[in-house]
Amino acid sequence: MPGVYISYPFCAQKCTYCNFASGVLPRALEPQYIAALTREIQATEWPFTPETIYFGGGTPSQIAPTDLAALIALIPGAPFAEATLEAAPGNITPEIARAWVDAGINRVSLGVQSFIQRELSRTGRKHTAEIVEREIATLRAAGITNFNIDLIAGLPGQTAASWNESLDWIERLEAPHVSVYMLEIDEDSNLGAEVIAFGQRYGARDIPNDDAIADFYETAVERLANLGIPRYEISNFARPGSESLHNTKYWTREPYLGFGADAHGFDGRERIQNTERAEDYVIDPKPERTPADPVGERFFLGLRLMRGIEPPFGPFASKIKKLIADGLLESTGDRIRLTPRGVLLSNEVFSEFV
């Protein structure tokens, strides 16, 4: 099921934990960016008819609905099996939700991260749990019943009690899909850089330790499974039938074209990546192509899925035997998959296939 990814790196604020190439960019750049996206999509010779679209970011819910509709209209294949828009809670009105539906959007991914006020305000997010609740009702009333809620395990000040409170909200809102990410500490986010520098801004001293974060993740796995939202990928949980069609193609190596700054694509043979900065992209997307690694990718992408992968295991047969003996992979008869411990040490496992 081939697809299209469109990146929109503009945000109302830079969240402390965010390590994406996105943030507060000059407003004057937005119309230039929409024009550049339009040019890039119009210049495409489609090697396939897309079945899914994903607007990621950044905050693509900031795109004016008329621009959103015009961009979608340039892509062949409508109506799409899945057309997702990432949204920051706080601005979803009945008019906007209706306009998204009219434009062809049928799934919304909400960057909630936490339902706890003190955790949210320390990260720079402006919404509250009540706003999220109201906006999900607004989406449902407009006909968008397929939505995702992002949560982050490891925010400053997070405790087992507050994490469980956020999971209570998932239950209350009857979310069909949840993504749980463990906080990443690197130089690319303000919070990560502060932690690395042993500073104390952004609550850097109040980050839960690695064991606590792993416990939060395991709690989510268990509680979400009990709610009928089992894990289908390391970070993704869904009610049966609500798994993301678009994101699944990343793990099964199906082709997709990427448009916009820092957008990635895969044509079946090569990985393609546009220039990272929006300021450069509006002048020239400068796509860089690198050959894909069909053998290794099948393992280190496919093993992210809880269903695992089938034989043949080719050049990796002996490594797989060792990983099984080490308790990081398990055989389910006709497939291999990560064990619960292998999930927590997945980067270590995947490095064996690179």
Is 336 strand, coil or helix? strand
Report the alpha-carbon distance of residue 280 to residue 285 in Å, rounded.
7
d(CA 86, CA 108): 6
DSSP 43: T
What Å distances lie between residue 239 and 24, 143, 177, 229, 278, CA to CA? 35, 18, 6, 4, 36
Q: How far apart are CA 75 and CA 152, in angstroms?
A: 32
CB of 264 to ligand SF4, least distance (A): 16
Residue 338 beta carbon to ligand SF4: minimum distance, rounded to whole angstroms: 27
- Kindly list the distances between the CA atom of residue 258 and the CA atoms of 12, 50, 99, 196, 288, in Å, as whole numbers in the listed order: 23, 12, 24, 32, 12
How many Cα atoms are found within 13 Å in the side-chain-facing hemisphere of 333? 1
Name the residue nearer to ligand SF4 (CB basis): 20 or 313: 20
Contact window for ligand SF4 (CB under 6 A) among 19-27, 98-106, 261-269, 307-315: 19-27
Number of residues that this document lists for the chain: 354
Q: State which residue, 193 or 323, has the beta carbon closest to ligand SF4.
A: 193
Closest separation in Å from C-beta 39 to ligand SF4: 24
C-beta of 245: minimal distance to ligand SF4 in Å?
22
- Strand (E) positions, the chain? 3-8, 52-57, 82-87, 107-113, 147-153, 177-182, 231-233, 236-238, 256-259, 264-266, 270-273, 288-291, 329-331, 336-338
Contact residue for ligand SF4 among 6, 15, 282, 344 (CB under 6 A): 15
Smallest gap from residue 54 Cβ to ligand SF4 (A): 14
Q: Is 14 one of the binding residues for ligand SF4 (CB under 6 A)?
A: yes
Q: Which stretch binds ligand SF4 (CB under 6 A): 20-28, 89-97, 263-271, 318-326?
A: 20-28
- Residue 111 as a binder of ligand SF4 (CB under 6 A): the answer is yes
CB nearer to ligand SF4: give 91 or 339.
91
Position 120 contacts ligand SF4 (CB under 6 A) = no
Interatomic CA distance for residues 327 and 215, integer angstroms: 19
The least CB distance from residue 152 to ligand SF4, in Å, is 9
Using CB under 6 A, which of 4, 6, 11, 170 touches ligand SF4?
Answer: 11
Q: Are 182 and 139 in contact (CB under 8 A)?
A: no
272 in contact with ligand SF4 (CB under 6 A)? no
Q: Contact with ligand SF4 (CB under 6 A): which of 2, 4, 8, 18? A: 18
Nearer to ligand SF4, 155 or 344 (CB): 155
Binders in 25-84 for ligand SF4, by CB under 6 A = 57-59
Q: Please, which of residues 81-110 interact with ligand SF4 by CB under 6 A?
A: 88
Alpha-carbon span 267 to 264, nearest angstrom? 10
- Residue 34's nearest CA partner among 277, 274, 282, 262 is 282
Q: Does 20 bind ligand SF4 (CB under 6 A)?
A: yes
The yes or no reply on residue 264 touching ligand SF4 (CB under 6 A) is no
Footprint of ligand SF4 (CB under 6 A): 11, 14-15, 18, 20, 22-23, 57-59, 88, 111
